[in-house]
Amino acid sequence: MALEITDSSFQETVLKSDKPVLVDFWAVWCGPCRTLGPIIEEVAADFEGKAVVGKVDVDNNQEISMQYGIRNIPTVLIFKNGEVVDKLVGVAPKDVIAEKLSAHL
């Protein structure tokens, strides 16, 4: 299951992780975000133990959203060693997301 990442847990969960981290920036009111949600959950299950998969609710965590310039949602960022190494904006198929995350394992 994807982790709920907040402004306060972001540094520990994402920036200090020894594994690649996929972060889905989303909001409850966003239709495309609801479409992407189950895909993110499947990716979280598939990559369990190999990568960290989490979600940031942009309405409740505006500090992180602003820091990374999130203007459109859903936006998926992939971090490695505390740096953004890949980005997807909008809904993408599971195989595309999995391929991008696999490239950073």
Candidates 30, 89, 91, 92; catalytic one: 30
Task: Kindly report the pTM of this predicted structure.
Answer: 0.97
Find the mean pLDDT for residues 57-80. 97
Candidates 14, 33, 44, 53; catalytic one: 33
Clarify whether 91 is annotated catalytic: no
DSSP string, 5-68: --TTTHIIIIIT-SS-EEEEEE-TT-HHHHHHHHHHHHHHHHTTTTSEEEEEETTT-HHHHHHT
Clarify whether 33 is annotated catalytic: yes
Query: What is the percentage of the chain residues whose pLDDT exceeds 90?
Result: 100
Q: What is the pLDDT of residues 29-65, one digit of tens each?
A: 999 999 999 999 999 999 999 999 999 999 999 999 9
Q: Please name each of the domains of the chain with its CATH number.
A: 3-103 (3.40.30.10)
